[in-house]
Structure 1
Amino acid sequence: MFPELDVEIRPGVGLGQFELGMLQTSISSEQCVDGMSLWTVLDLLRNDPHSFPQVDVKYDPDSPTTPVILHLRPHLDLLFSGTYQRLHTICMKKLQDPHPPATLRYNKATLSSPNEVLRRVGVSRTFGPTYAGDDLRYPGVWFSFEDDSRGEPLNSGSPHPEDKIQEVKRVIVCQKTAGDEADDVLSEVRVCEAMLGDLESAIIKVHDGLILNFYPSSAPSVRIRIGITTAQDLICDLGSPVRVHYREDNRMTIHSKTKKEDIEIDSGYFYNYFQHGIDFLISGTTHVVKKIILHTNIPGTALFQRYKRCPWAIEGQPEDDEDDTPPRKWFYDRFEAISHFLSPREIPPTMQLDRTDEEDGLTLPSSTTKLLGFDGVVLEVTEAAHVVTVMLF
């Protein structure tokens, strides 16, 4: 038996435990509240299967930057923006579906329950007057009288007397806009307070390392350099890692030119910052950063949901000393463009990788990826030419 859903609406902010700015819930010390990311919400749902036992993930397999929808059956749809995967819109539907029953509240007053149907007149009494139209729209929330079947739309303009008893089919919560301006569901979430401290971009400097920029834009950047930055530096700048993983898989060393005995002496360990989508391989002897791995968190891939999406960009050389906007290729660019950016002349040899080999029972439509090594960079690429991970060394 499914638990009853009892949620309160907060216009422009959230619905129940889901917020457009952050998650209103207690999270274990192994998790990080980083503000409305797809990774955070899925992690919450995975750790609370009793509250939401049926979760469907909907996405476009041909594009890594189209919106992702989580269906929390039968009442909730969570829409995440395509580029940065942040919670953009919350929709509550099937208000009278008894499996499970749902109760919707506002300012401690009950709007809808198994014994009370939410109608147009009830919305008007609670929220007051608003602009004319088929739906009742208020800043940060609107009420629709069409269900998922999308039947014939109502006549626009002032409702007729009999329209007062129209039943509300869907309640949508989104960020507040100016006046009666409509919110574009395909747009990115506007910067809000909950993003403070969240990673805004990770600028890759080949043969050097990373520059991490955080919200707000006035926050100081963090520079991480391969062969220079220490494990202690990472903890001071980024906090303690979510997990420390001691390296056990040395299969790739068969392709290394380094002596085998040197590799065995310095096996190293990983600092996993899942909330930023970044791993750091630390030397076991010098305790400095040896390698950096950045994750794109593309739905449908074997690594999906293990890491939050890292908004990385590979930076090229500026055209001259006065050029303060050097060229960059971003995580949403296709492999062909990134490959030409790194090596205009030729594509390097390709190695095949199937991450499902390590996961018993895991099957994916396209589980095989390609590893392509460039000077100082290795790209892991899907069959659809999307870059899953970037490895810097």
Structure 2
Amino acid sequence: MLQRPRRRCEGKAMGAIVLDLRPGFGIGPFSLGMPICDAFAQIEQQPNIYDVVHVKYYDEEPLKLDIVISFPDHGFHLRFDPWSQRLRLIEIFDVKRLQMRYATSLIGGPSTLATFVAVYDLFGPTFPGIYDKGRGIYTLFYPGLSFAFPVPSQYTECCHEREAELPLEFPDGTTPVTCRVSIYDSSTDSKVGVGSLMDKACAPPLAAGSLYMEEVHVKLGEELWFTVGGQHIPFGASPQDVWTELGRPCGIHQKQVDQMVIHSASDPRPRTTLCVDYFYNYFTRGFDILFDGQTHKIKKFVLHTNYPGHADFSSYMKCNFVIYGSDFGGSFHQDDNTTKRTITPSTKWEQVKEILGDCGRAAIQTQGSTSNPFGSTFVYGYQNVAFEVMKNGYIATVTLFQS
């Protein structure tokens, strides 16, 4: 778990923030379906509000469980699908810490209890909810929005669907207070709540023509093929070619030092020579392009998986690359026989070795020991490609070059 440092001055009073509630769409600046990098960008824009942030993930198997961004001071967290890294579910787990604005009304926070009656009055009539006897939780559903209410054991008879009257009130005149609010995409008509119901939330479908998670097919030693736009970017292309095909890069920066030149016996440059090569950074598409500083031609592509636990996590969106095993000559066409021999961001290092064979010892990449809390990674080289591998065996980056 990564905890970002507190930015709030000690002793400053901390009141509940107010965020606009958009059932089926999001809350405040966070929208369902947004990539995790966009969520971090929103957090960085408002450091005085989101000053304590926890990032939780399953380090050993990062594709098994959600990546969670949690705001403990404000009582809510964001759940991202681990493969697509898109926001699938927003949960308010401490309603007293977060005040929500719906239309012109407020609910939640320390001053406005989110009782069953208050929720029913604000959001209107709906169908009877679901009572989870094992958890003692009654969940009320609206399109893209649900409220979970704890029910004392002596009042469970009030919660059977056929008998329940809404709004839910107990014989002693009290009404339960919500313990959790879930915001989720309503296009699938799923009912999302606590427990197993939480798993039913999915990120909304991508818009037609969206470039997010576009498959980028690799022809080793030759080119990249972008499947949505149909662009082919070969080695040796110029900056003008790239700009024309892919549009303006998100950033351009010079490569300060070529750290790998010492391993090249054929390179005549002095080992202390500064590198004049430069990168085009396409952060929103998950890759960099390195140009030779003298010829101004593409010499490398760097593809990023954006896994948590890597020093560059949240700097790039995920690149959904597809690399074919050498037995298939780098063909862009796949069938059932070649699917098992493709390398994608989900492929672990042991599987890569099964496809491409053993390549010997790895070079150790430290990424700066003082600024990188995640430790070193390992770089394995093959003809025309190098894989940077994390300690959990997942690929962090893929560097493509011409041997």
Question: Which category of TM-score, normalised to the shorter sequence, fits these structures?
Answer: 0.7 to 0.9
**In terms of mean alpha carbon deviation, does 48-57 or 198-207 score higher?**
198-207
Alignment correspondent of 1:191: 205
User: 1:84–1:311: 8 Å Cα contact kept in structure 2?
Assistant: no
2:387 is the counterpart of 1:379: yes
User: 1:201–1:213: 8 Å Cα contact kept in structure 2?
Assistant: yes
User: 1:81–1:186: 8 Å Cα contact kept in structure 2?
Assistant: no
Q: TM-score, normalised by structure 2?
A: 0.80
Q: What is the CA-CA distance between 1:57 and the residue it aligns to?
A: 0.4
Q: Quick one: distance in 2 between partners of 1:392 and 1:342? A: 15
Q: Of residues 42, 45, 48 in structure 1, which corresponds to 2:43?
A: 45
Q: What is the CA-CA distance between 1:138 and the residue it aligns to?
A: 1.6
Question: Structure 1's 197 and 60: CA in aligned 2 closer, same or farther, altered over 3 A?
Answer: same
2:248 is the counterpart of 1:240: yes
Q: Of residues 113, 119, 125 in structure 1, which corresponds to 2:115?
A: 119
**In terms of mean alpha carbon deviation, does 256-265 or 70-79 score higher?**
256-265
Instruction: Summarize the alignment of residues 133-282 of structure 1 with structure 2, pairs less than 5 Å apart.
Output: 133=130, 134-146=138-150, 155-157=159-161, 158=164, 161-162=169-170, 165-182=175-192, 185=199, 189-193=203-207, 196-214=210-228, 220-227=229-236, 229-261=237-269, 267-282=276-291
Alignment correspondent of 2:96: 96
Q: What do residues 131-167 of structure 1 show as CA deviations (whole Å, max 9, x unaligned)?
A: 43120012211111249xx999965432563187211
Alignment correspondent of 1:67: 66
Q: What do residues 310-360 of structure 1 show as CA deviations (whole Å, max 9, x unaligned)?
A: 2222123559999643432211111011122123xx333321221133xx3
Q: Of residues 316, 323, 335 in structure 1, which corresponds to 2:349?
A: 335
Q: What is the CA-CA distance between 1:58 and the residue it aligns to?
A: 0.4
Give % identity: 24
Question: Structure 1's 179 and 323: CA in aligned 2 closer, same or farther, altered over 3 A?
Answer: closer
Question: Structure 1's 323 and 5: CA in aligned 2 closer, same or farther, altered over 3 A?
Answer: closer
SS of the residue corresponding to residue 61 of structure 1 reads coil
Alignment correspondent of 1:26: none
User: 1:20–1:175: 8 Å Cα contact kept in structure 2?
Assistant: yes
Alignment correspondent of 2:77: 77
Q: What is the CA-CA distance between 1:129 and the residue it aligns to?
A: 1.4
> How well do the aligned residues superpose, as a CA RMSD in angstroms?
3.1
Letter in 2 for 1:68: I
Q: What do residues 233-277 of structure 1 show as CA deviations (whole Å, max 9, x unaligned)?
A: 222222222221111111210112433249969832111111122
User: 2:70–2:78: 8 Å Cα contact kept in structure 1?
Assistant: yes
Q: Of residues 14, 17, 20 in structure 2, which corresponds to 1:5?
A: 17
Alignment correspondent of 1:27: none
Q: Quick one: distance in 2 between partners of 1:322 and 1:204? A: 8
Question: Structure 1's 188 and 161: CA in aligned 2 closer, same or farther, altered over 3 A?
Answer: closer
Alignment correspondent of 2:361: 349
Q: TM-score, normalised by structure 1?
A: 0.82
Question: Structure 1's 152 and 383: CA in aligned 2 closer, same or farther, altered over 3 A?
Answer: farther
Q: What is the CA-CA distance between 1:124 and the residue it aligns to?
A: 2.3
Q: What is the CA-CA distance between 1:92 and the residue it aligns to?
A: 1.7
Q: Of residues 31, 46, 52 in structure 2, which corresponds to 1:54?
A: 52
Q: Of residues 367, 375, 400 in structure 2, which corresponds to 1:392?
A: 400
Q: Quick one: distance in 1 between partners of 2:330 and 2:293? A: 39
SS of the residue corresponding to residue 185 of structure 1 reads helix
Question: Structure 1's 332 and 184: CA in aligned 2 closer, same or farther, altered over 3 A?
Answer: farther
Letter in 1 for 2:142: Y
2:134 is the counterpart of 1:130: no
Q: What is the CA-CA distance between 1:206 and the residue it aligns to?
A: 1.2
Q: Quick one: distance in 1 between partners of 2:226 and 2:332? A: 22
SS of the residue corresponding to residue 336 of structure 1 reads helix
Q: What do residues 153-198 of structure 1 show as CA deviations (whole Å, max 9, x unaligned)?
A: 9654325631872111221101114445557637752423398342
Q: Quick one: distance in 2 between partners of 1:277 and 1:322? A: 20
Question: Structure 1's 244 and 349: CA in aligned 2 closer, same or farther, altered over 3 A?
Answer: same
Q: What do residues 27-83 of structure 1 show as CA deviations (whole Å, max 9, x unaligned)?
A: xxxxxxxxx111121132133210111100000000131310011123220000010
Question: Structure 1's 209 and 339: CA in aligned 2 closer, same or farther, altered over 3 A?
Answer: farther
User: 1:351–1:370: 8 Å Cα contact kept in structure 2?
Assistant: yes
Q: Quick one: distance in 2 between partners of 1:127 and 1:332? A: 44
User: Unmatched 5+ residue regions in structure 2?
Assistant: 1-11, 131-137
User: 2:24–2:185: 8 Å Cα contact kept in structure 1?
Assistant: yes
The number of residue pairs the alignment matches comes to 361
User: 1:201–1:311: 8 Å Cα contact kept in structure 2?
Assistant: yes
